[in-house]
Chains A and B, each alone.
Chain A
Amino acid sequence: MSIATFGISEAAVFLEKTLRSIEKRCDLAVTLSRHEALDAVWEAWQATEDGWKLSDDETAITEEVRDTAIRFVEALPLGFPQPEVCGEPDGHINFEWYRSPRRVISVSIGPANRIHWAALIGSESPRGNVRFIDRVPDSILRYVAKVFEG
């Protein structure tokens, strides 16, 4: 199944080829239902909705962060491995793709559509932060693919 529809410029063709290649490599990984990830986002938000459940050094997840996390899951290409999801003490929602201790990438969704991410692939530890609009950044997709390749 096609993961996206693109224009016909050279750049668009190149991008589609790249994403198809990523998708193909990810076929080797366990692919879970997107609904599970979406349910986990709701659960993470609900778990912090009641302030009394939080300890003094924890922050509740806002509806804004929850909604950004939902859009993030929905923006993952079809067929992509779905992440493990959990709330973080600073009120962010964390997505993690894990294969082994040195094959892992974490993505943290915070307020104002801000995404912080870090991967560990062998001894390589790329990281970054970016504003999420409506597409999962290609760098994140590439490193998720690297977690599962080989």
Chain B
Amino acid sequence: MMNPDRIPDVADNELLARFIVNSNEKRSEGQVTPRLFMPYKWVELSINRHREATLTETWQVGFEVAAQRNKQLYGLANIRASKCRIEHLEVVPAPIIPSNPNHANITGYPASKEDQMALAAELAASIEGNWIAAPQKDG
């Protein structure tokens, strides 16, 4: 994971993970639905940076996020930071110290629901590859 004392800005070419914790956020053929990128109730959306993190560490964060929300972790979808920077959207570091220095937010969602839906559809269409199923949890 990143050094909490030195959190860099999010570069355009960084790969970001969005955790899938609802079954209706994924499609059977590997794509995701726009719902994965809807920012309810806020105008920002949590995302996790792969930078300087092992896949095991990223999955660990995913399991913790799901547990906190009393949800199941189905998997994650990857998206490039540059693909998130559309219209007024920005990707900014939002480290959670000490547990998750790799946490970031997509900020700048508009308030109106239809605008959020349009952006969410664009982001869902821009994921890199297919969504990836979560590994079996040890124990």
Contact = CB atoms under 8 A, between A and B. Distances in A.
B70 A96 contact: no
B40 A128 contact: no
Interface string A89-108: 11010101010111010101
A112 to B, nearest CB: 13
Given A55-B69, A125-B122, A127-B114, A101 B40 contact: no
Contacts of B114: 108, 116-118, 127-129
A108 B117 contact: yes
B26 to A, nearest CB: 12
Contacts of A116: 112-114, 117
16 contacts: A55-B71, A57-B41, A88-B35, A90-B113, A96-B33, A98-B33, A104-B121, A106-B117, A108-B113, A108-B117, A116-B114, A118-B34, A118-B115, A118-B117, A119-B121, A129-B113
Interface residues of B, number: 23
A69 interface: no
Contacts of B105: none
A117 B121 contact: no
Contacts, number: 69
A60 to B, nearest CB: 14
Interface of B: 24, 27, 31, 33-35, 38, 40-41, 69-71, 112-115, 117-118, 120-122, 124-125
A48 to B, nearest CB: 13
B125 A117 contact: no
Interface residues of A, number: 27
A82 to B, nearest CB: 16
B41 A118 contact: no
Contacts of A89: 38, 40-41
A128 B115 CA distance: 8
A101 B31 contact: yes
Nearest to B121: A120
A19 interface: no
A13 B40 CA distance: 42
Contacts of B118: 118-120, 125-127
Contacts of B71: 55
Contacts of A98: 27, 33
Contacts of A110: 113
Contacts of B121: 104, 106, 118-120, 125
B117 A55 contact: no
Given A100-B31, A108-B117, A119-B121, 20 more contacts: A57-B40, A57-B41, A86-B24, A88-B40, A92-B113, A98-B27, A101-B31, A102-B125, A106-B117, A116-B117, A118-B34, A118-B120, A119-B118, A120-B121, A120-B122, A120-B125, A125-B118, A126-B118, A127-B115, A127-B117
